[in-house]
């Protein structure tokens, strides 16, 4: 078998235990790639987990001004190998890669007692072209229950506005019809960049009557 990220051959030791336990996830990705994923560590923005910032970062100050109290946790920094991972997973459509982080995600997400996991959806068009929602794939592998109660419209490319303008003016997400909202929600996404998706969704869900919302992403 080859490493799904770098194509190096994987040495699979067939020990008695590994035979009993069937396949370990680690066998999808080589040791060297695995060790290149960088945990965010202890020095991060207390609100959004931005690395190497010990006070509220600029992104969080922006959200504060928008009336959103950021309450986010991320596990890994969005470094080169993480970019490579998502490029393979999302754009090359390597659905097997959803399994790489299932153990750690399961452990970390289980800590949110009393919170319902809600996944960030793709637009229908994107879903059709990719064949899967990579966010859902990550959660599904953990075996935890989650809700798929949001819908995303395709954001039309309009030539008169730049990307930032569009993000600010048009919000493509809404709730599915007839959904009963849980009181406590853990919004889950794959990557947190400036927090636009998660924090605007949070705002929307609080407006719709949710009591507590925390956000979580694999990478930041």
Based on CB atoms, which residue is closest to Zn ion, 69 or 110?
69
Residue 184, classed as helix, strand or coil, is: strand
The reply to whether 99 sits near Zn ion by the rule CB under 5 A is no
* C-beta of residue 161 within 8 angstroms of C-beta of residue 169: yes
The edge-to-edge listing of strands for the beta sheet with 116-119 is 72-76, 212-219, 184-191, 116-119, 146-147
The reply to whether 48 sits near Zn ion by the rule CB under 5 A is yes
Question: What span, in angstroms and rounded, lies between the C-alpha atoms of 116 and 180?
Answer: 12
The reply to whether 220 sits near Zn ion by the rule CB under 5 A is no
The reply to whether 51 sits near Zn ion by the rule CB under 5 A is no
The reply to whether 6 sits near Zn ion by the rule CB under 5 A is yes
Binder to Zn ion among 44, 50, 152, 202 (CB under 5 A)?
A: 50
Residue 103, classed as helix, strand or coil, is: helix
Closest approach of Zn ion to the CB of residue 133, in Å: 25
The tokens for 18 are: 């590994």
* C-beta of residue 155 within 8 angstroms of C-beta of residue 166: yes
Based on CB atoms, which residue is closest to Zn ion, 68 or 122?
68
Closest approach of Zn ion to the CB of residue 192, in Å: 10
The reply to whether 28 sits near Zn ion by the rule CB under 5 A is no
Alpha helices in 21-96 (DSSP H): 31-36, 58-65, 80-86
Of 48-56, 75-83, 110-118, 178-186, the segment contacting Zn ion by CB under 5 A is: 48-56
The reply to whether 57 sits near Zn ion by the rule CB under 5 A is yes
Size of the site for Zn ion (CB under 5 A): 11
Question: What span, in angstroms and rounded, lies between the C-alpha atoms of 95 and 133?
Answer: 10
Q: Which residues bind Zn ion (CB under 5 A)?
A: 3, 5-6, 30, 33, 45, 47-48, 50, 57, 60
């Amino acid at each position: 078998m080859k490493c799904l990220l770098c194509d190096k051959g994987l040495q699979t030791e067939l020990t008695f235990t590994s035979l009993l336990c069937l396949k370990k996830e680690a066998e999808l990705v080589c040791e060297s790639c695995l060790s290149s994923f960088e945990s965010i560590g202890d020095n991060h923005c207390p609100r959004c987990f931005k690395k190497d910032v010990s006070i509220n970062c600029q992104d969080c100050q922006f959200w504060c001004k928008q009336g959103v109290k950021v309450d986010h946790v991320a596990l890994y920094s969005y470094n080169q190998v993480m970019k490579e991972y998502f490029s393979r997973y999302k754009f090359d459509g390597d659905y097997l890669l959803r399994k790489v982080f299932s153990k750690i995600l399961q452990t970390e997400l289980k800590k949110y007692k009393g919170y319902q996991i809600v996944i960030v959806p793709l637009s229908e068009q994107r879903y059709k072209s990719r064949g899967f929602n990579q966010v859902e794939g990550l959660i599904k592998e953990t075996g935890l229950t989650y809700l798929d109660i949001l819908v995303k419209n395709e954001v039309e490319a309009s030539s008169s506005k730049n990307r930032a303008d569009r993000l600010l003016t048009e919000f493509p997400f809404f709730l599915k019809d007839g959904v009963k909202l849980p009181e406590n929600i853990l919004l889950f996404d794959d990557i947190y960049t400036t927090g636009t998706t998660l924090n605007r969704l949070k705002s929307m869900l609080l407006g719709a009557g949710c009591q507590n919302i925390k956000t979580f992403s694999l990478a930041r």
